[in-house]
Structures are given as structure tokens and as C-alpha cells.
Amino acid sequence: MTTDLATPPTQPAPARNPENTVSRWWAPVAGLIVVVVAFAATELVAALGVWAGLFNPAAAPITSLANTFIVLTPEWLKHFAIVTFGTNDKVALEVGMYATIGIAALVIGFIAARWTKIALAAVVVLAVIVGIAVITRANATIFDLLPLAIGIALALIVFNKFFPARWTATGAPAKPGVPDRRQFFRSAGLTAAGAVVAGGLSKVVPTGAAAIQSRSEIVLPKAAKPYVVPAGSSLDVPGITALVTPNKDFYRIDASFQPPIINPGTWSMQIKGLVDNPMTLTYSDISARPMVEAPITLTCVSNEVGGTLVGNAVWLGTPIRTVLQEAGVQQGADCVLCTDVNGFTLSAPLEALMDDREALFAVGMNGEPLPFEHGFPVRMVVPGLYGFVSATKWIASMELTTFSKVSAYWTQRGWSDHGPIKLSSRIDTPAGFASFAVGESVVIGGMAWAQNTGVAKVEVQVDDDPWAEATLSKPLSKDSWVQWKYTWKAKGSGPRTLRVRATDAAGKVQTDQRAEPIPDGSSGWNSRTITVT
């Protein structure tokens, strides 16, 4: 071993007066405050600007970061999120994002007390990432970076306050970076309070006020044949899903962090690509067209066997087919690339939009204008196709093209091009592991769907007993799910397994072949175990 001559003499530790200084955690806290100031100020300026009509919603950094993250998310992570968090995946994303930003901020502060310039560089990198997230959103402009610039400027002022010696002193020896305790608490407290107030205010600025007002004033057009659910359509089974899903309970799946709040007065959509007459349609153009009203059951391809990513609504809209006929679809097109107002894409098979099914540009859902989460002002609804290849919400354009030329968000992630919904059935009641006495009547009930064909029969099997036919609710239409029920006299004792299968109107029996949702939808029989005692 040699003596290490390169070791510098140890610096005398800065004199510390425990009464007068803060301990080691001050630096991460200061870093956190700097970052919170940056975000809160940017959010507030953006919100005020969006409200005043100066900026696009993309100017808001958190939303833009989240939407960017969603678009870049690999399929396995997205699927994991939907399966693990269900329709709470957005909340999970928000929590995860705040946690990541928070940790980055603490690290920045930790570094700043020692290597101020490196920390400053990290702040700049963070700002650039947010800037890219903002500017790459569809319809964002360079002006949408203004709130971020203001937020960063403020954050740098705060940074300089907390870490002065380390980055203003050019060449001068670094002073001990530990601030006076009382002073630190005062400035940190004031700045943090200011940032929290700004962040809170940014949440209450009514950025979507004009759009919300317009939506509330809409008088929906009347369908040639208004649809009314016939009285007595539903089965009376406690614990079974309602035949028509109330809007507030309707599942929501989309790659949009927050639903875009669109003003119908400024909205329009384009029909372009392989068409003889490209068209631009405004909200009034759509509303003035012939209207159809029909119950159609929507299903998400991510729905697992027995899952709840399925809902039934009475939709009001104009047939897509006649719009495309007017546009004059050219020879060779087989795919419609649909884009929403955020630039998100979805590809639909052309034939499903042109055949005799009721594919709609929908404006109404269960008697009211579409809710913002469900695609206001106009969305597509195509009976018989999973949502990811058809049900474009917040639609902005349709391009007639070919599958050989384009791929869309989900199809790039390994999901199939053509997404016919698989014949499915589900048990809603009784609850798993419910227990029944021998001889007791067990009311088994649930839902079955075979959109664009219709459900003809549902059967229930207990263990290895023969399949028994269930009673069906009166089908509302071939595109609408049905309720089914079967009453079983409990016998035997111990665990008993119930399973269900449906047969569609074309005579096809639901397969027991298990398949995961990816790439073209789950299959297999839903089963449930109860106990007979």
C-alpha cells in the first residue's frame, strides 16, 4: 500500500450553530419547492390563458406530460395498467407522475446544495422535457410554451434564493450552503404557500366554461323513429346489471388523460383521403342530417372474461354510411384512419362502416348530448366492433386509406386490425362464495352479448350437470346485450361451480377456449363457485 498523496487535506467543517441553522434536509425541501413553483405557476398561467382563449389546453404542463406519456407507453404497461387499475388507470398515472416529479425535485435539491450547476442543468432538462410534451401535442403552437417560460423564470428566481452562493459566485470560493434557519423557514414557507395557492387556483379556473355552457344549451335533433325502451324489457333479478347503462356508470377507456372539453361551435371534422369529394362537417351539419336512435352495446377489447368493460346506451346519431356515400369512397380503400382532436389515431375496417349495420356519428347518449368523457361533441359508434377499432371519441377527421399503408395507436401495439366483438356471457349474481342451503332456490343471472347478430340462447351448467336453458330478457335489438336468469334448486353439498355460455342468432355457440384480451379480445366461459351447505 502506498500513501495516497492525492488526498486533499480535509476541509474544516463549516461552523454550525444548531440554534441558527437547519439540518441536512433543507436542500431537498428547497428543491421540491423550486419544482412545485415551476409547475404551479405554469399551470395557473396556462389555465388563465385557456380560459381567456389565448392558449390551447396543451399549454397545461401536467396534462400534456400525461398525454405524452400515454402515447409513448408500451403495450405491456398499458395493459397492466388497465388490468390492475381498471378505469382508475388515469388516477394511477397521475399519482405516479406526481411521485416521479416529486422524487426528481428532492434529488435536484440534494444535488444543488453541493453541485449547484449540475442541479441547475437538471432543472433545465426537466423544463425541456415539459416543453417537448407541450409543443408535440396536436394543435399546440409556440405560444403555448409561454406559460412554461414564465413558470421556469419564477422557479429560477426561487432557486437563486435558496442556492445563491453556488451558482452566482463565478470563480469565488463556495460559501457554506447552509442557510439561516429562521430565514429558510420564512422564505420556504412563503414560497410553498404561494405555489400551493397558484396550483389550487389553476384547478378552479373554469377553462372549459364556454364549452360547458354550449353543451348545456344544445337541443338534440329528433330521430325519425325515436327509440323508447319497451316497458317490461328487463328481468327482475336482484344484483343483475341494468339493461341500459346510465351515462355516469358507463365504463370509460381512452388514451386521453383528461377528456378534451370541446366547444361545439368551433368543432368540425374532415373526411379525406381516398374520396371523390373531401368534406368538412360542422356540429350543425351533423345535427341537421337524418337521425337514427338505437340501443347499441359497446365493448372494450381489454375486457376479461367476466369483466365489466362493457355498457349499453341508446345512441342518437347520423349513419356514417350515407356520409361516406356522399364523400364518394374510391376503389381500393379498406381502412378508415380516424383521428381525435388530440391527434390520437384509431383504424376501422371500412366494410363495417358501409354495410347495413347502424354505424353512427353519434351526438346523443341516453337522451342527452354526449358527456365530455364519452366523446362530446361527436363520436363514432359501430355495432359489433370493439371500441378500439371503431368508437372514436372527440373525432376530428376520417381518412379513407388502406390497412397496408397505415397503422394506428393500438394496432401499432400488437392489437388486431379487425376487431369483431366475440360472443360473450357473464354471471352477475350470485356473488362468488355465496352460500345456500340444500333445497334453496338460487337465482343465477347476468348478461350476454353478440352485437350485430343477437343472442338467441343462454345456458347454465352446474358442475357436470347437463346445460340448462336460461330465460332471456326481450332483446332490445340485435346490437344490444340481453339479461338472462336461471333458477337452480341447490343440491349436493360443498362447493359448486356455475358456468354460462351463450349461442348467437346465427347458431354459433360461445367457445370455452380461453384467450387473453390481446390481440383480438378474450374468450372462454365465465364461471363462479358457490357453496351449498
Ligand X SMILES: Nc1nc2c(c(=O)[nH]1)N[C@H]1C(S)=C(S)[C@@H](COP(=O)(O)O)O[C@H]1N2
Positions in the binding site for Mo ion (CB under 5 A): 253, 300, 387-388
Binding mask 33-52 for ligand X (x = CB under 6 A): --------------------
CB of 522 to ligand X, least distance (A): 13
- When the beta carbons of 198 and 309 are compared against Mo ion, the nearer one is 309
Among 256, 318, 503, 510, binds ligand X (CB under 6 A): 256
Residue with cell 333479478: 237
Q: Name the binder of 252 from ligand X, Mo ion, none, CB < 5-8 A by kind.
A: ligand X
Stretch of residues binding ligand X (CB under 6 A), selected from 234-242, 248-256, 419-427, 472-480:
248-256
Helix (H, G, I), strand (E, B) or coil at 444: strand
CB 148 within 8 A of CB 40: no
Helix (H, G, I), strand (E, B) or coil at 520: coil
Q: Name the binder of 321 from ligand X, Mo ion, none, CB < 5-8 A by kind.
A: none
What is the distance between the alpha carbons of residues 499 and 404, in angstroms, rounded to a whole number?
Answer: 41
Among 252, 413, 418, 491, binds ligand X (CB under 6 A): 252
- When the beta carbons of 293 and 479 are compared against Mo ion, the nearer one is 479
Query: CB neighbours (10 Å) of residue 104?
Result: 18
What is the distance between the alpha carbons of residues 449 and 290, in angstroms, rounded to a whole number?
Answer: 28
CB 295 within 8 A of CB 229: yes
Helix-helix angle 75-85:89-112, to 10 degrees = 110
- When the beta carbons of 31 and 387 are compared against Mo ion, the nearer one is 387
CB of 251 to ligand X, least distance (A): 5
- When the beta carbons of 326 and 516 are compared against Mo ion, the nearer one is 516
- When the beta carbons of 377 and 419 are compared against Mo ion, the nearer one is 419
The beta-carbon contacts of 229-236 under 8 Å, at least 24 apart in sequence, are 229/295, 229/314, 229/476, 230/474, 230/476, 232/474, 233/473, 233/474, 233/476, 234/473, 234/483, 235/445, 235/471, 235/473, 235/483, 235/484, 235/485
CB 202 within 8 A of CB 46: yes
- When the beta carbons of 28 and 375 are compared against ligand X, the nearer one is 375
Query: Three cell numbers at 177?
Result: 450552503
* Torsions phi, psi for 478 (to 5 deg): -70, -15
CB of 388 to Mo ion, least distance (A): 4
Among 54, 129, 138, 255, binds ligand X (CB under 6 A): 255
Is position 392 an interface residue for ligand X (rule: CB under 6 A)?
yes
Judged on CB neighbours under 10 Å (0-12, 13-18, 19+), 283 is buried
Stretch of residues binding ligand X (CB under 6 A), selected from 7-15, 16-24, 211-219, 252-260:
252-260
CB of 333 to Mo ion, least distance (A): 24
- When the beta carbons of 332 and 414 are compared against ligand X, the nearer one is 414
Is position 504 an interface residue for ligand X (rule: CB under 6 A)?
no
CB of 374 to ligand X, least distance (A): 4
Residue number of the CB atom closest to Mo ion: 300
Is position 344 an interface residue for ligand X (rule: CB under 6 A)?
yes
CB 189 within 8 A of CB 181: no
The continuous run of DSSP H or E covering 239 comes out as none
Is position 26 an interface residue for ligand X (rule: CB under 6 A)?
no
Q: Name the binder of 255 from Mo ion, ligand X, none, CB < 5-8 A by kind.
A: ligand X
Is position 310 an interface residue for ligand X (rule: CB under 6 A)?
no
Is position 383 an interface residue for ligand X (rule: CB under 6 A)?
no
Query: Three cell numbers at 151?
Result: 413558470
* Torsions phi, psi for 320 (to 5 deg): -65, -35
Q: What residue type is assigned to position 326 of the chain?
A: E
Is position 396 an interface residue for ligand X (rule: CB under 6 A)?
no
Among 43, 89, 254, 459, binds ligand X (CB under 6 A): 254
Judged on CB neighbours under 10 Å (0-12, 13-18, 19+), 6 is exposed
Binding site for ligand X (CB under 6 A): 250-256, 298, 300, 340, 344, 374, 387-388, 391-394
